[in-house]
Amino acid sequence: MAASYVKDVTVLCSYSQLLKRNIHRQLCIKLKYSTVAELTVENNQTTIDENVKSESFKHRSHPGVLKCKRVVLPVRLQESISVLLEKYPVHQLHGQTQFLVNYLASRKRPIEDDELRKQAIKLENEISTNRSGDIPERPKELKKRKSLIMNKLRRSVYHWQPIIYNEMVAVAYLLGRFAPNYAALYRVFNEIKRREPEFRPEAILDFGSGLGTSVWAAEATWENQVKEYMCVDISKSMHATADSLLRDGDENKERFIKTVFQRHFTPLSPDRKYNMTMSAFSLLDLPTKSDRVNTIRMLWMKTDDFLLIIETGSREGFETVNEARDLILGIQRPSGKDKNVELEDGYVFAPCQHDVSCPRKSSTDVIIPCNCMQDYQPLKELKLKLNTMKERFSYVILRKGQRKNRVDDHWPRVIEPVLQRSSHVICYLCCPNGQLERPTITAAKHGRDLYRCARLSNHGDLLPISHLESSNPPSLTNENNKSN
């Protein structure tokens, strides 16, 4: 009785927290969009992009739709997971799994030394102003003041700790994070496949590959096309569990996908290139900004086509992804000795349709994370009542070379759920000119086709509208966009 009461209260509390967070997000969005000056999408001449209309054109599955239906793990993988989990006391691991999942969701980047120093000086100044400067401080008082500063610092600063991925943590990770990570990866790979059907990822380098989630998601997307998966992970246990999954949960069996290579460090040879490099949910595992910068640079140098960065959809995850985007586009250059390293040119393939500063970060002080949602089926071993869960993640797909003038390069991205009202819809868009817009789309003003497509679009899709006359063309030389 008492236990069920506690459970009910916990559920209620988490609902009210969720509600509070959603209300806060809606208020921030309103505030952010109130700064939008001119709406290019809302003007009367905007209609459906005529290039997309064909005989088989359906509004529900218009060419800008990128969201996948509920993502389900392949049957063979589900069976491997079940066989592997039989060896572990899964019911005893639920608590550890929940703890790990919550920790990963709320994890932040480690604080940098100079930021820590700045905060300590600020605290010291605050404390010092309260004492009279005339009386010299005795050693005992000095010691007391130092310990006060240290205590305050400990309480106010985020204490980042590395995760030791041992065997049990690997199993907890499999239980709690494998299915949602797979769903996010599958969604991102599918965007590349749909928008670039000719692309064949012959060799993939995955930094922080963990349980080999990317291997399974890539195999489900480009069946038997990948000739080499280079999985780099520092943890032996993660590699061992990933290997076991490839052998149907039994180490005596043969590997199901034979093109997987596991390494603890990235192959050094500068000549060896991959046509896709990636890091999924791994950058927050690195202890310093310099490690993140070096990893992103290394991944950029190792690819001759795509670089994918995926992180959790929290504000921290979004900022980590944005840090990588800004680094490659040259919007934000790191300081110190890293300052002058030249990187090959590239552009954002997704989710942005432009290469200027993220407008969600730059237009006001409020930062609303730009993220995407994907439905997925959780593992049956978790014994959840829900059969569909949602994974919120932030991502960027960068590509080498110059932006191609393709049809969909002129379509804005839907970056929040479309608000459906009677006879009109309100869309939150990120436009190819690097600006945010919130047009109200109606059949009378924009034509039935665009109205129907907008109504049936999801968060994360592209909206196929006619070529926008940009009021403010994007420019990388713009003062706001480039800060060294």
Ligand X SMILES: C[S@@+](CC[C@H](N)C(=O)[O-])C[C@H]1O[C@@H](n2cnc3c(N)ncnc32)[C@H](O)[C@@H]1O
For ligand X, the binding residues (CB under 6 A) are: 165, 181, 208-211, 213, 232-235, 238, 280-282, 285
Give least dist CB 232 to ligand X, A: 5
Give least dist CB 312 to ligand X, A: 9
Give least dist CB 287 to ligand X, A: 9
Give least dist CB 212 to ligand X, A: 8
Check if the beta carbon of residue 415 is closer than 8 Å to that of residue 370: yes
Residue closer to ligand X by CB (options 28, 163) is: 163
Residue closer to ligand X by CB (options 124, 167) is: 167
For β-strands 372-376 and 389-400, DSSP reports them as antiparallel
- Take residue 449 and report the two structure tokens written for it: 């086709």
Give least dist CB 233 to ligand X, A: 4
Give least dist CB 446 to ligand X, A: 40
Residue closer to ligand X by CB (options 213, 357) is: 213
User: Which amino acid appears at position 434 of this protein?
Assistant: G
A 10 A CB-CB count for 443 gives: 16
Select from 245, 97, 108, 248 the least CA-distant residue to 180.
Answer: 97
Residue closer to ligand X by CB (options 312, 466) is: 312
DSSP string, 414-472: E-S--EEETTEEE--EE-TTS-EE--EE-HHHH-HHHHHHHHT--TT-B--BSPP--SS
Residue closer to ligand X by CB (options 48, 215) is: 215
Residue closer to ligand X by CB (options 209, 435) is: 209
Check if the beta carbon of residue 350 is closer than 8 Å to that of residue 396: yes
Closest chain position to ligand X (CB): 210
Give, to the nearest 10 degrees, the angle between helix 167-195 and helix 94-106. Answer: 50
Give least dist CB 41 to ligand X, A: 35
Q: Tokens 């059949």, residue? A: 443
Task: List beta partners, residue 228.
Answer: 203
Give least dist CB 104 to ligand X, A: 6
b/e per residue 76-113 (b: at least 16 CB within 10 A): ebbebbebbbeebebeebbeebeebbeebeebebbeee
Residue closer to ligand X by CB (options 64, 208) is: 208
Q: Kindly tell me the burial class for residue 344, based on how many C-beta atoms sit within 10 Å of its own C-beta (0-12, 13-18, 19 or more).
A: exposed
Residue closer to ligand X by CB (options 172, 427) is: 172
Instruction: Determine the Cα–Cα distance for residues 370 and 348; give it in Å rounded to an integer.
Output: 14
b/e per residue 196-226 (b: at least 16 CB within 10 A): beebebebbbbbbbbbbbbbbbbbbbbeeeb
